Chain A
Amino acid sequence: MAQTRRELLLDALHCRPTPRTPWVPYVGCHGGKLLHLPADVYLRDPEYIATGVATAAERYRADGLPVVFDLQVEAEALGCELVWSSENPPAVNSHPLAHGLDLSDLPEITPDSGRLPVVIEAIRRARARVGDEVALFGLVTGPFTLALHLLGSDIFLEMVLNEERIHALLAYCADIAGRVGEWYREAGCDVVAAVDPMTSQISPAHFAQFIAPVAAPLWQRWAAVGATTALFVCGDAWRNVPGMCATKPDALFVDEQIDLVAMGEVARAHGVAFGGNIPLTTVLLLGNTDDARRAARQCIELGGATGYVLAPGCDMPYDTKPENVAAVAEVVHGDFTGEIAAKEAAAVTIELPDYTKPGEVLVEVVTLDSLSCAPCQYMVEAVRAVEAQFGGQVRWVEHKLKEDDTIPLMMALGVKSIPTIIIDGAVTFSSIIPEATKLRESIEARLAAKA
């Protein structure tokens, strides 16, 4: 039976090889935009959220999606006041622990606290809508970010002046995260992720002292209820990336401030999958479809073939252009129709090679890039192996999609998918890697026709 998109994504999150790079667009309040609803209406209604998830799953051909991207849900349940806005998730406006309250004064958190029932119901309904085809992420506010909501920015001073208080606060916040993650898992999430952007603002020494001791048990707690686990950070968290990987979530997701190649090296050394980091503002919000395709291709190339998931850097802004996200999906699924249409509209043409040279056959392989795309690599190897058997009668070249002339060449010759083998201008093998005999026969037939 064919693998579902959900299975493909889960394979990548557990560092197993996948036939293509999986992709998780972070549709948070942007789901409201898809349904023409303001964020403050969308994020308070389980039916709207489930519809937003189902819409995004289809429109963006996602392998996985967050159900709700809102780091204020737990804070609200614990008594922080929120300020709502129509184009953003709400913002926390009061910090109860900064105003004289102790941890023991905070309300008990249950699945019925604050907006938790909305999120839990949204997960159930989203699961019913997307079935087993798409993986769902339950995003939980990470312990440090929740602690910051509760205490305010005094937390940074207290980390130095009152270490015991901060240890106790983080243990409390990690327990809240643990429970909420369990509820999200029970409601139907495949992946439970702690979103802890504020951890990019502290030193590796503070990360090791305060965060690592609560993070590692948190992943174990979620894994014990069958969840795949992840940590989402944003900002320049580079110096904390090794410490984060060492806590061993299944995956670590980062934003565009982190170099994906370096990230991959650290993650792979720890056996942790990783994801990111299409630029949010410059590409998805303000860029065009060409920018989106280019960024997606670059991420896929840098992320590498195994244990990498393509994703935006962080929660997509409400006004993200849907056509840009759809363009990323085209790249992920190897669909070039949108791009070809764009180039046709721009009337880009090239001069084709001379396919009539006697005594020589030109084999062209159109690839994403044989260095980073596994099927492309096998296609190129197949050609290279056969070429040697023809003693100079076969010349071959690779056309990588990122090269300027490749799309016009594909248009001129009618190439619709990648990788493809073209023999003297004729599309001969598409997507499927030919057996050596088949490839040899095709070349021999062409040589015979030219003789």
Chain B
Amino acid sequence: MADFNSMQEAVIGGNLPEATRLTQEALDEGTAPSAIVNDGLIPGMLVVGEKFKNNEFYVPEVLIAARAMKGAMALVKPFLKEGDMPALATVAIGTVQGDLHDIGKNLVAMMLEGAGFKVMDLGVDVSPEKFIEAVSDGASVVALSALLTTTMPNIGRTIEALKEAGLKDGVKVIIGGAPVTQAYCDEIGADGYSPDAGSCVDMLKALIA
């Protein structure tokens, strides 16, 4: 019987060797790959998000946990069959045009991935056109990040571009970054805002429920 508790603990503690060992053991024992992901790895990453939200974990602890998660996922992925792991949604994420800051955006991407979303990471300095392209390629959520007060308006411009392309109604747009606030979110007509990467998962889950 696979030890899902220990697997979760290995992810939470960022213990890559232990996470991969337990995952390999479970696979060897014939545990369903989807169970390893859903009952072992993802619950571990959700705890990480929770701890980040509560200031028990900081950036290094999150990254080290994500690394353990990723290592274990790499073992499971070849055995996952189509339909085994329906993604919660496909999220196109990027830092908006003119802004090169990626730490916050990367954390959100990891959290979403760790919670079972499919993530298309478009990188930094992403033009509205690239976000539009990603929606055409199947993203149903657009996640926009900005660190600078001067690039924050490009969040609004990206939303306008989605509207002009007739795509806004078909997607959820979520936003975040140091200068961004709920008031700004309401003002520009984004669908969701979260102050940190940990709360982003809950916010998005509620949004698409």
A contacts, CB < 8 Å to B: 83, 85, 87-88, 91-93, 153, 156-157, 159-161, 201-203, 206, 235-236, 238-239, 280-282, 285, 317-319
Contacts and interface: CB of A to CB of B under 8 A. Distances in A.
Contacts of A280: 149, 179
A153 B163 CA distance: 34
A368 to B, nearest CB: 29
A160 B181 contact: no
Given A91-B100, A239-B55, A206 B60 contact: yes
Contacts of A159: 60
A88 B150 contact: yes
A156 B150 contact: no
Interface string B52-75: 000101111101100100000000
Contacts of A282: 181, 183
Contact of B178 (A88, A91, A235): A235
A157 B149 contact: no
* In the A-B complex, the 10 residue pairs with the closest CB atoms: A317-B149, A156-B60, A201-B59, A91-B100, A87-B150, A281-B179, A203-B58, A156-B63, A160-B64, A159-B60
Contacts of B148: 88, 317
B60 A85 contact: no
Contacts of A202: 58-60
B207 interface: no
Given A201-B59, A203-B61, 6 more contacts: A83-B100, A88-B151, A91-B100, A159-B60, A238-B55, A319-B150
Nearest to B149: A317
A91 B150 CA distance: 13
A156 B66 CA distance: 12
Nearest to A207: B58
A159 B60 CA distance: 7
B192 to A, nearest CB: 19
Interface string B19-63: 000000000000000000000000000000000000101111101
Nearest to B67: A157
Contact of A153 (B14, B57, B102): B102
Contacts of A85: 98, 150
A154 to B, nearest CB: 9
Nearest to A236: B55
Give the interface SS of chain B, mostly helix, strand, loop or mixed. Answer: loop
A202 B60 CA distance: 7
Interface of B: 14, 55, 57-61, 63-64, 67, 98, 100-103, 106, 148-152, 178-179, 181, 183
A281 B181 CA distance: 10
A320 to B, nearest CB: 9
Given A156-B63, A157-B64, A201 B181 contact: no
Most buried by A among B59, B100, B149: B149
B127 to A, nearest CB: 15
B195 to A, nearest CB: 9
Most buried by B among A88, A202, A280: A88
Contact of B150 (A157, A201, A317): A317
Contact of B103 (A88, A153, A203, A285): A153
Given A85-B98, A91-B101, A93-B100, A157 B63 contact: yes
B67 A281 contact: no
A441 B111 CA distance: 72
A245 B150 CA distance: 32
A34 B110 CA distance: 41
Contact of B14 (A87, A160, A319): A160
Nearest to A206: B60
A93 B64 CA distance: 24
A239 to B, nearest CB: 6
A222 B60 CA distance: 30
A247 B66 CA distance: 32
Most buried by B among A239, A281, A318, A319: A281
A236 B60 CA distance: 16
Nearest to A316: B149
A203 B102 CA distance: 20
Contacts of A203: 57-58, 60-61
Contacts of B14: 160
A153 B60 CA distance: 9
B57 to A, nearest CB: 8
A282 B183 CA distance: 10
A411 B14 CA distance: 64
B100 A160 contact: no
Contacts of A92: 100
Contacts of B183: 282
Nearest to A281: B179
A141 to B, nearest CB: 16
Nearest to B99: A91
Given A280-B149, A281-B149, A157 B101 contact: no
Nearest to A285: B149
A160 B60 contact: yes
Contacts of A318: 150
B193 to A, nearest CB: 14
Contacts of B101: 91
A70 B14 CA distance: 35
Contacts of A161: 64
A306 to B, nearest CB: 30
A91 to B, nearest CB: 4
